[in-house]
Amino acid sequence: MDSEHSDRDSFDLLSEQIELINKTVQENPKTIVVLISGSPVNMVDWIENVPTVIEAWYAGQEAGNAIADILFGDVNPSGKLPITFPKKLSDSPAHVSTRTYPGNEKVYYDEGIFVGYRHFDTKDIKPLFPFGYGLSYTTFAYDNLKINKKAVMGDEKFTVSVDITNTSDYTGAEVVQLYIQDVECSVERPLKELKGFKKIKLKPGEKKTVIFELDKRDLSFYDEKTSCWKAEKGIFNILVGSSSKDTHQKEEIEYID
């Protein structure tokens, strides 16, 4: 259904596939659905009936072995979604424009800067699965978020640290994500934006500190009036978590122009 030379005809799976999923899970409540796809699909008609979904994308000729390793627990998955999975197609920022869809050959980017998770967060639209989301056989705890400075000015750098603890019985890896929220700005801004991420592998019970180094550029936006990057003085919230919708820790820093 996915291809490189044309768009999909529908956001839904084929009706035969939906029927097969629902019939199978009635026979076996422990059914796992493995999606082989290049983009999000509608899961509303079956997601509540299925305990587990694996997004396998297009993994190439070794996909079967890779998927089997995860299903049987030989490999602990740690991937995170690089895109948002909406509940319905109309929730997507690409469909904000009434001038583009349906059928118009000219595309209008009416979503502006609100692309991807920025649209869902800022417009308070609950997705099916948010940007950055992903589960594993391991659970993690986020604690002790710290910023080494209360305020920065000019081109000063600052560091953000957070403690991550493996709270399960399995060795696993977590992708720690850092987002920044410009509390008050002279132009329209997203609710928050991803500014850094790091992957950390931990043994059961192990704790490590993840450190991010940031600077003025991470607090900046592109000013169309001056055609340059600009950081305005004020308060910025630093949020750290496991997805764009699940930020466990928050601290603030002040930028002094």
Model confidence over 197-252: pLDDT tens digits? 999 999 999 999 999 999 999 999 999 888 999 999 999 999 999 999 999 899 99
- 3-state SS track over the chain: CCCCCCCCCCCECCHHHHHHHHHHHHHCCCCEEEECCCCCCECCCCHHHCCEEEECCCCCCCHHHHHHHHHCCCCCCCCCCCCCECCCHHHCHHHCCCCCCCCCCCCCCCCCCCCCHHHHHHCCCCCCECCCCCCCCCCEEEEEEEECCCEEECCCCEEEEEEEEECCCCCEEEEEEEEEEECCCCCCCCCCEEEEEEEEEECCCCEEEEEEEECHHHHCEEECCCCEEECCCEEEEEEEEEECCEEEEEEEEEEEC
The pair of structure tokens assigned to 174 is 């977590």
Q: How far apart are CA 175 and CA 134, in angstroms?
A: 9
Q: How far apart are CA 80 and CA 135, in angstroms?
A: 8
For each of the domains in the chain, give its residue range(s) and CATH number, in order of start.
Answer: 15-71 (no CATH), 140-256 (2.60.40.10)
A 10 A CB-CB count for 179 gives 24
* pLDDT of 102 above 70: no
Nearest CA to 244 out of 145, 177, 187, 151 is that of 177
The pLDDT-based confidence of 101 (bands split at 50, 70, 90) is low
pLDDT, residue 8, reads: 83
* pLDDT of 185 above 90: yes
The pLDDT-based confidence of 106 (bands split at 50, 70, 90) is confident
Q: How far apart are CA 7 and CA 22, in angstroms?
A: 27
Nearest CA to 166 out of 115, 196, 205, 120 is that of 205
What digits encode the pLDDT tens for the residues 148-180? 999 999 999 999 999 999 999 999 999 999 999
The pLDDT-based confidence of 105 (bands split at 50, 70, 90) is confident
